[in-house]
Structure 1
């Protein structure tokens, strides 16, 4: 059951990367109703919160992020992974807030966690990157060197 929930949340996350909110919701609908939060439920809840935010439901998305943030201690994740996910939730809440500030429930705990980024699971970092990666335009060739520059003759 947890494997199904994990795969469905990863597929929903992939749909969110493509900005396909309906597909993300469809993938999340495949998650079984009874999933242990400590095992795979945290991932499902986090992806569900991100789906709400992507759909423009700011308040419910931030509330869902806050719930995940508060329950991370119930999981079997390492302390570094929990700290990383808390920072991830804080960043997403800031991005979607009206005033550019995270809700008080997240801000109050922001200084109470520490983590070593080198110890965070690389798969976790790949699934939930802290920074938004923007699509780069196609490579544009650099302008030519001015006359006399860039030659190897000296």
Structure 2
């Protein structure tokens, strides 16, 4: 009975941590660092890194980077990067997250070169993008994509393109 209750509590805390980190990530995408920090306060104190803690730690690093705390953010990003092997993620998911961390580090350094701890590991991995979890790609996109307005009409067809006459 005691083991079952502990596993239920752990599952509950992992769910809360996952939802809080996703909400914080959405706030970061919107540019609201203060709201992201507030969302991260909902994360329980004890979360297993291998289950959901990696996501929380990654979002915390991104929050620090967005707040302008480069050194602390990069150090946290390196810690997450190095501990990804402790998780139960697939090899391709780990490779994708390592590439994501590398890109965020490149964006947040003054000279455009990531720390050597990230560079050294990044040269030795490969992954198949088709095998990466789509929800992971949605949460952590590699490229920063600007949204296009939906009200832009399609370009007109050139003259003579629509006719079927021979």
Tell me if TM exceeds 0.5. yes
> What are the ranges of 5 or more consecutive residues in structure 1 without an aligned counterpart?
none
Name which of 66, 81, 87 aligns with 2:93: 81
C-alpha distance 144-121 of structure 1, shift in aligned 2 (>3 A): closer
Partner of 2:34: 22
Q: Measure how far apart 1:137 and its partner are.
A: 4.9
Partner of 1:111: 123
Question: What is the alpha-carbon root mean square deviation over aligned residues?
Answer: 1.8
- Equivalences for residues 1-154 of structure 1 within 5 A: 1-137=13-149, 139-141=151-153, 152=163
TM-score if structure 1 supplies the norm length?
0.90
Structure 2: how far apart are the matches of 1:20 and 1:139?
26
TM-score if structure 2 supplies the norm length?
0.84
Q: Measure how far apart 1:108 and its partner are.
A: 0.7
Residue-by-residue CA offset, 1:78-126 (whole Å, 9 max, x unaligned): 0000000000000000011100111100001111111111000000000
> What are the ranges of 5 or more consecutive residues in structure 2 without an aligned counterpart?
1-12
Structure 2: how far apart are the matches of 1:76 and 1:104?
26
Q: Measure how far apart 1:139 and its partner are.
A: 4.6
